[in-house]
Amino acid sequence: MTRILIIEDEPDMRRGLQDNLEFEDYEIAATGNGSEGLRMAQKEHFDLILLDLMLPGMDGMEVCRKLKESGSSTPIIMLTARGSESDKVEGLLTGADDYITKPFSLKELLARIKVILRRTEPMGGSLRDYAFSDVKINFEKYESCKGNLELDLSPREFEILRLFIEREGETVSREEFLKEVWGYTSFPQTRTVDNHIAKLRQKIEDDPDHPKHIITVHRMGYKFLR
């Protein structure tokens, strides 16, 4: 059973999350205190942590930093009430895997949880190694190289490639990327996808201005050719 730790001090929010996630068949532990949450996360195994930012005991950033410092690889989704860009960036720098800004819908949170869990799940053997041109990718170890050079791909870039490869030759829309890779349920900012694709092209294409593998499909999205 997938275990999720909720660290959130607002009682209604915590109980609501717990009830809804239990209804979705997740096994839940919950606390309203940051340092208590850190202790629980260090003592027991969890598949995912939902971590509020403003907490008594120890704030979310600190909990996140301490967990990552202690070598934990448990993915963390930060729950933040503050929507400012600097918080989001700082949250990601301390090692959170994703963030969601309150108020969020349950549907949105569930989608994010599924994306993160899929990312960290051991692969079902289907897509472990993949190669095209001089690029080699290992989706299990998150390793990649182009020729003799190691590629510094972000987890998000791995997931974009994974979706491309699973749908090789088919056009994938920006909305599909946001849904499958980001776990978004509404799509106000499809430019996010374009920015990530542009960076990915810089890394994997011989000539990013004339891409051979990640092809733009006018008005539709992108497709991957091996």
Residues forming contacts to Ca ion in the complex (CB under 5 A) are 9, 52, 54
CB-based contacts of 186: which residues, under 8 Å, 6+ apart? 108
Minimum distance, C-beta of residue 55 to Ca ion, in the bound complex (Å): 5
CB of 187 to Ca ion, least distance (A): 28
Taking CB atoms, the residue at the shortest distance from Ca ion is: 54
Nearest distance from residue 54's CB to Ca ion, in Å?
Answer: 4
SS3 call for 221:
strand
Residues sharing a CB contact under 8 Å with residue 204, sequence separation 6 or more, in sequence order? 135, 146, 151, 161, 213, 214
Residue whose CB is less far from Ca ion, 54 or 151: 54
Q: Which is nearer to Ca ion, 9 or 175 (CB)?
A: 9
If the CB atoms of residues 52 and 98 are measured against Ca ion, the closer one turns out to be 52
Cβ proximity to Ca ion: between 30 and 54 the closer is 54
Q: List alpha helices for the chain, DSSP H.
A: 11-23, 34-43, 60-69, 85-93, 106-120, 155-166, 174-177, 191-204
* Shortest distance in whole angstroms from residue 52 CB to Ca ion: 4
* Cβ–Cβ < 8 Å for 98, 112: yes
